[in-house]
Chains A and B, each alone.
Chain A
Amino acid sequence: MNMILVTREDFSVDEVLRELRSKEMGAIVTFVGVVRSHSEGREVDRIEIQVYEEMAKAELEAIRRDAIDRYGVEDVAIVHRYGSLKVSENIMMIAVGAGHRPEGFDACRYVLERIKESVPIWKKEITPEGNFWVEGEEHGRKG
Chain B
Amino acid sequence: MNLSGSENVRVRVRYFASIRDRVGLEQEEVETPIGTTLSALYLTLKMAHDALEEWDRVLLAVNGEYMEPDHSLKEGDLVAVFPPVSGG
A-to-B contact residues, CB < 8 Å: 33, 49-52, 54-56, 58, 80, 91-92, 112, 115-124, 133-141
Contacts and interface: CB of A to CB of B under 8 A. Distances in A.
Q: State the majority secondary structure of interface residues on A.
A: mixed
Given A122-B16, A122-B17, 12 more contacts: A33-B88, A52-B14, A52-B82, A92-B88, A116-B86, A118-B66, A119-B87, A121-B87, A121-B88, A122-B18, A133-B83, A134-B86
A139 B87 contact: no
A58 B63 CA distance: 11
B5 to A, nearest CB: 29
A139 B57 CA distance: 8
Most buried by B among A91, A121, A137: A121
A136 to B, nearest CB: 4
A123 B86 CA distance: 6
A118 B85 contact: yes
Interface residues of B, number: 20
Contact of A49 (B21, B84, B87): B87
A100 to B, nearest CB: 25
Contacts of B59: 120, 139-140
B28 interface: no
Contacts of B18: 122, 133, 135
A122 B85 contact: yes
Contact of A120 (B16, B21, B56): B16
A122 B66 contact: no
29 contacts: A33-B88, A49-B87, A51-B87, A52-B14, A52-B61, A52-B82, A55-B80, A56-B87, A58-B64, A58-B65, A80-B88, A92-B87, A115-B87, A118-B66, A119-B85, A120-B61, A120-B85, A120-B87, A122-B18, A122-B85, A133-B83, A135-B17, A135-B18, A135-B83, A136-B83, A136-B84, A138-B84, A139-B56, A140-B59
